Amino acid sequence: MTSPDAKNAADLIITGCTALVHDDHEQIDFVEDATIVVRDGLIETVTTDDLADTPAAERIDARGQIAMPGLVNCHTHAPMVALRGIAEDLPLEEWFNDVIWPIESNLTDKDVELGARLACAEMIRGGVTCFADHYFSMDAVAAVVAGCGMRANLGEAYFSSQGAEGRERSLDFALRQRGGADGRITTSLAPHAPYTVDDADLAATAHLAREHELLVHIHAAENRDQTDTSLARHGRTPIEILQGAGLLDVDLLIAHGTGIVERDLPVLAGATGRVAVASAPRGYLKFAWPTTTPVRALRKLGIPVGLGTDGAASNSSLDVWDAMALTALVQKSTEGDPRWLTARQALHHATLQSARAVGLGESVGSLAPGRKADIILVDLSGPHTQPVHDLPAALVHSARSSDVRTTIVDGRVLMRDRELQTLDVAGIVDELGERMPSLIDRSHGRKIQDYDA
Amino acid sequence: MTSPDAKNAADLIITGCTALVHDDHEQIDFVEDATIVVRDGLIETVTTDDLADTPAAERIDARGQIAMPGLVNCHTHAPMVALRGIAEDLPLEEWFNDVIWPIESNLTDKDVELGARLACAEMIRGGVTCFADHYFSMDAVAAVVAGCGMRANLGEAYFSSQGAEGRERSLDFALRQRGGADGRITTSLAPHAPYTVDDADLAATAHLAREHELLVHIHAAENRDQTDTSLARHGRTPIEILQGAGLLDVDLLIAHGTGIVERDLPVLAGATGRVAVASAPRGYLKFAWPTTTPVRALRKLGIPVGLGTDGAASNSSLDVWDAMALTALVQKSTEGDPRWLTARQALHHATLQSARAVGLGESVGSLAPGRKADIILVDLSGPHTQPVHDLPAALVHSARSSDVRTTIVDGRVLMRDRELQTLDVAGIVDELGERMPSLIDRSHGRKIQDYDA
């Protein structure tokens, strides 16, 4: 590409696809028989012109496929795939206190690295090009992101029980790693939750976020119990606690928010920061929580609601496509309105709103010139997606993550025709399997934290 | 196989798999490193013995795969895949009256045949080996079943608005086609619903069912509105109407039942026939119905609850695997109990209970000697299903229908390594596409029935 002869050659040209784009009003639209030109990791153009004569280092014939912005997993704990299935059919408190937090006291950097590699393999195969991760040993995750080619927003989690050190380590990580992996890594400060991080630490976090222009990624109002407990103990909801700490005046990504209640809405409406919520509905059903993220109320306030999977130890998978379909279904059911959260709305959550939620609203989430070339190609030729009377519905309700054939990040093909290009699943699984006995051992009786919210 | 030399050879031997079986108490269990021997369309044995020297016409090396009973779609309208996506984001009444029933007045045998072929392709690829179909032009569906190798229970639908002719045609179909396709076809009488079939026709149906030993497959108490309307008009719930007609004293498959209410439970408890309910939860969410099938209450009565997808025009897919996962999730959420409807329970619904629901409880639904060799092989080596700390949870909550690699009915391989052996999807889609304009035309202003329930 840098030789004089190929100076004008595009890096990648995708031809013959139907491209999912956003119109001037940000509505989902489709361009048939589209050609997408990628240069220097960016989308140069999405056009119906015939560019058969334009030189390109690589061409992908995508006839019969849909090109979409890559999916964004707005809230996960990627390395927890190592614990997939370890604690099934339990309420949240037992899940945390009896299984997850005891096991996490065993975590090593190597476990985190292997978990992150497996998670990235799963996500790339599911059409996820970017994920917002909130976990421990995040330098190991950053190294995996650098190696596998994905994009990520990474935050080192902390509790107040760790003292000032936790918060300092989170800041150090965020400053040291941001801009890494050729700019594919952005970072956030990652306080765990209002029930594990005290008001002083939350206020200090808000201060640091403003000073260093960092996103804050936090669990809050995860479920209604947490809101009720917070009201009983502090007279304030978790959202009001965030407000009191100044966190609504910085860029803030709130995970879950199924415990957001009516009195929180004016509080959120008064936020001066870019506040977003990540919804991961599968886990809420699995934990039998009484409510889900109040998407309709949040949208009325203009708050973006991105899609996420949470960790695989609760959600069973990192399948953002499934989160998209389930969000549409659960929102219809919760609101008692079959006309609400249409397939087009679900696709808007999965694209621009998810990009905004992780602080990348200007650079990913849309197939438009100048945006990062994070693109997936989806095959709708299978019998389960035919015929296509309604393309948004076919994508959201009939297609599955396994219909993603090609995943591209920054113009680089990470999966081609379902084959991963940068990760070796069998090798990762073998290596992880060897470490498993010591990882899941709970005989020591330790745990990293108590759940009491 | 019929030559003297091969007289003792098995037809098919599957080696090295983990086999999902049922123990003496019908609980889900697993046999590791199992070998399954198939002869004359039946499972001869499931063993851990080494049968490397046993001759077989065909061997499948299934190391690393899970062998399960094929899934049963207990309630669908297979040919409606032709209308997938045609009526999105609508309440049931508009869905029926404005779109589906006007379009269905255009249906020809050829449309039904093509729809059924596409549906069978989708189901075989999703690990479904048997389906209970309730539709029109069912001779065309029977011919497709015969050709593609699936198993099915088929019923010709009727409304009282058709006069006695509808019921007679349903009976004629049931008697003429039963035992067809080398015994793979069983049949049922298929009155549409208590709100479209009057009491006299329902009573006549019960009489015919008893006389001819036929299953009756009917929609009833589909949603709470129908129950409320029935109570207001007749002073009886739909379930009480079925009881009054004698339909609880024959073998009865009730589709949906999300409108089954407290007062119906003693009525169902008093049933003398083999009564079962098919639950298809995705559509209930999509139509924003306020309730789902009361699985826990039905199980307390010992009533089998099978899994289904309904037609793809409402459900978007015929993905029974998805119905299995969604049943677990929605039941936990509805009951407010994360410990309820475990993955093992979901697998029990998907296997023996579904087999019983369609009247095949003695012949399919379990990998046991003497049962039909309806077997699927599921690959759990993908990154989204690893590691496997909990095999039932991995199957229900992490695996997807796309992880089914091999589908076998009556010992015949219908899909091998994801490749369909008996159906050509591209050809079906092309042919269906040509017929689409006349199929979906609603300019005539007719409809086959009014929805007013």
Shortest alpha-carbon distance between residue B248 and chain A (Å): 31
Contact by Cβ (8 Å): B129, B408: yes
CB B126 to CB A384 under 8 A? yes
- Predicted pLDDT at B7: 64
CB within 8 Å: A339 and B84: no
Q: What is the pLDDT of residue B8?
A: 83
User: Considering CB atoms only, which of B81, B90, B336 is closest to A288?
Assistant: B336
In this prediction, residue B368 has a pLDDT band, given cuts at 50, 70 and 90, of very high
The closest alpha carbon to A407, from A63, A143, A39, A71, belongs to: A71
Interface probe, candidates B80, B88, B122, B419, chain A, greatest A C-beta count within 10 A: B88
H/E stretch holding A190 reads: strand A185-191
- Asked if A216 and A252 touch (Cβ cutoff 8 Å), the reply is yes
**Tell me, what's the pLDDT at A275?**
98
> Using the beta-carbon criterion (under 8 Å), do A402 and B398 form an inter-chain contact?
no
State the pLDDT at residue A7: 64
Longest CA span, chain B:
71
Report in angstroms the alpha-carbon separations of B328 from A283, A287, B97: 12, 11, 32
**Spatial CA neighbour of A285 closest among B345, B255, B281:** B281
Question: Which pLDDT belongs to residue A96?
Answer: 93
What integer pLDDT is reported at residue B2 of this predicted model?
Answer: 43
What is the per-residue pLDDT across A175-203, written as a single tens digit (0 to 9) for each? 999 999 999 999 999 999 999 999 999 99
Q: Where are the alpha helices (DSSP H) in B37-136?
A: 92-94, 101-104, 109-125
Residue A8 has pLDDT above 90, yes or no: no
> Phi, psi at residue B176, to the nearest 5°?
-75, -40
Contact B339 A89 (CB under 8 A): yes
pLDDT of A5 > 70? The answer is no
Residue B406 contacts residue B376 (beta carbons within 8 Å): yes
Q: In a mutagenesis test of the A interface, which of B83, B84, B282 is the best target, namely the one with the most A β-carbons within 10 Å?
A: B84
Picking from A85, A335, A397, the nearest residue to B316 by CB comes out as A397
Note the pLDDT of residue A343: 98
Can you list the alpha helix ranges (DSSP code H) found in A213-311? 224-234, 238-244, 264-269, 281-286, 295-300
Q: pLDDT value at position B339?
A: 97
Residue reference for tokens 């209002």: A194
Q: Where do runs of H (alpha helix) occur along B316-451?
A: 320-335, 343-348, 354-357, 391-393, 425-440
Residues of B in contact with A290 (CB under 8 A): 336
Q: What is the pLDDT of residue A4?
A: 42
User: What integer is the mean pLDDT of B390-418?
Assistant: 98
Nearest residue, CB atoms, A317 vs list B329, B398, B429? B398
What's the pLDDT tens digit per position in B267-305? 999 999 999 999 999 999 999 999 999 999 999 999 999
Of A72, A71, A85, whose CA–CA distance to A286 is shortest? A85
Sign for the pseudo-dihedral over CA of B247, B251, B256, B261: positive
**Cα–Cα distances in Å, from A448 out to A158, B47, B174?**
11, 45, 64
Q: Is residue A326 classed as helix, strand or coil in its secondary structure?
A: helix
In percent, the amount of chain A with pLDDT more than 70 equals 98
Residues A43-67 pLDDT 10s: 999 999 999 899 999 999 999 999 9
DSSP 8-class letter at A70? P
pLDDT at A453: 82
Of B2-6, B112-116, B289-293, B306-310, the least confident: B2-6
Mind listing the pLDDT tens digit for each residue in B60-83?
A: 999 999 999 999 999 999 999 999
What spatial distance separates the first Cα and last Cα of chain B, rounded to whole Å?
56
Residue B327 has pLDDT above 70, yes or no: yes
Residue A182 has a CB neighbour count (10 Å cut-off) of 12
d(C-alpha A195, C-alpha A198), whole Å: 7
Q: Cβ of B390: how many Cβ atoms within 10 Å?
A: 21
Q: Which two tokens stand for residue B113?
A: 């045949």
Contact call for residues A62 and A15 (beta carbons, < 8 A): yes
pLDDT tens digits along B144-195: 999 999 999 999 999 999 999 999 999 999 999 999 999 999 999 999 999 9
Token couple for B231: 């109570």
Half-sphere exposure of B246 (CA within 13 A, CB side): 12
For A118, the closest of B383, B425, B436 (CB atoms) is B383
Residue type, A328: A
Q: Are strands B185-191 and B151-158 parallel, antiparallel or unpaired?
A: parallel
The pairing of strands A404-409 and A412-416 is antiparallel
For the segment B21-33, the average pLDDT, to the nearest whole number, is: 95
| Separation between Cα atoms, residue A248 and residue A202, nearest integer Å | 11
Conformation bin of residue A221: beta by default, left when phi > 0, alpha when psi is -120 to 50: left
Phi and psi angles of residue B344, each rounded to the nearest 5 degrees, phi first: -65, -40
Cα B344 from Cα B323, distance rounded (Å): 15
Phi, psi of A156 (to 5 degrees): -85, 115
How many whole angstroms separate alpha carbon B141 and alpha carbon B180? 12
Question: Are B425 and A382 in contact (CB < 8 Å)?
Answer: yes
d(CA A226, CA A194): 9
Q: Is A6 a residue whose pLDDT tops 90?
A: no
Q: Do A88 and B332 touch (CB under 8 A)?
A: no
| Residues found in chain B | 453
Q: 3-class SS at B153?
A: strand
* pLDDT confidence of residue A365: 98
DSSP string, B408-440: EETTEEEEETTEESS--HHHHHHHHHHHHHHHH
Residue B328 has which token pair? 């677990």
Which residues in chain B are contacts of A397 at CB distance < 8 A?
85, 88, 286, 316-317
pLDDT at B4: 42
For residue B69, the one-letter residue type is P
As a whole number of angstroms, the distance between CA B282 and CA B295 comes to 15
Question: Mean of the per-residue pLDDT values for chain B?
Answer: 96
User: Contact, B446 vs B102, CB < 8 A?
Assistant: yes
Q: How far apart are CA B237 and CA B239, in angstroms?
A: 5
**Cβ-based contacts of A317 with chain B (< 8 Å):** 384, 397-398
Please indicate whether, in this complex, the C-beta atoms of B398 and A84 are within 8 angstroms of each other.
yes
Residues on chain A touching B290 (C-beta within 8 angstroms): 336
| Average pLDDT, integer, range A164-182 | 97
Q: CA of A420: which chain B residue's CA is closest?
A: B383
State residue B120 phi and psi, 5-degree precision. Answer: -65, -40
> For chains A and B, what is the number of CB pairs under 8 angstroms?
193
Radius of gyration of chain A (CA): 21
Query: Which residue in this structure is represented by tokens 């590791």?
Result: B32
Q: Which residue in B316, B333, B397 is closest to A288 by CB distance? A: B333
Task: Say yes or no for a CB contact (<8 Å) between B88 and A312.
Answer: no
Strand partners, B408: B375, B413
At residue B5, does pLDDT exceed 60? no
pLDDT tens sequence across B233-258: 999 999 999 999 999 999 999 999 99
Q: What pTM, to 2 d.p., does this model score?
A: 0.97
Are the C-beta atoms of A412 and A146 separated by less than 8 Å?
no
Closest in B290, B386, B440 to A336, CB measured: B290
Do residue A425 and residue B381 have CB atoms under 8 angstroms apart?
A: yes
Contact check, Cβ <8 Å, A288/B386: no
B317 vs A398: CB contact, 8 Å cut-off?
Answer: yes
For chain A, the average pLDDT equals 96
pLDDT of residue A332: 98
The confidence band for B452, taking pLDDT boundaries of 50, 70 and 90, is confident
Task: Evaluate whether B324 touches B399 at the Cβ level (below 8 Å).
Answer: no
Distance from CA of B277 to the nearest CA of A (A): 21
CB atoms within 10 A of CB B379: 18
Rounded to two decimals, the ipTM of the complex is 0.96
